[in-house]
Amino acid sequence: MGSGHQLKLVHNMISLGSVALIAEVAAGALAAGIDKVAMIECLSKGGAGGIALDRVALYVLEGSCDKLQFTIENACKDFGYYSEMAGHAGAVKTIADAAHKTLSGLVESGVGKAYLPEVASLLQAK
């Protein structure tokens, strides 16, 4: 694997991992009855603010995945490739493996074609 492909995986792990984490937390917050507008406003004012939040917020607030049309299945593949790369390098990948396990479970449940921001509702339903 060339360094360009490795850098793409590193970027995707940060980007997609952030989206997945924000979507999972949004699912938990919404299931707990937290107001979605208040949640997005709160998150946007701190360390969670940024492009990843913008992508999830559009889905949570408007039901749109227009800012990130990347499937759970494709994200899962990238997490698998990253895990393989990190494993070969002897690097710690505990957090990446946890996200990969979550996404793999969604793929196995038949919703792999859904877009990554939809994790916010797919995990809420579980």
Query: For the segment 25-83, what is each residue's pLDDT rounded down to a tens digit?
Result: 999 999 999 999 999 999 999 999 999 999 999 999 999 999 999 999 999 999 999 99
Strand partners, 71: 115
DSSP 52: H
Phi, psi of 92 (to 5 degrees): -70, 135
Quote the pLDDT of residue 63.
96
Could you tell me if 55 and 68 are in contact, meaning their C-beta atoms sit under 8 angstroms apart?
A: yes
SS3 of 71, please? Answer: strand
What is the Cα–Cα distance from 23 to 57, expressed in whole angstroms? 9
Residues 85, 1 contacting (CB under 8 angstroms): yes
Question: Which residue did the predictor score with more confidence, 124 or 12?
Answer: 12
pLDDT, averaged across the chain: 94
Other beta carbons less than 10 A from residue 46's beta carbon: 8
Percent of the chain with pLDDT over 90: 94
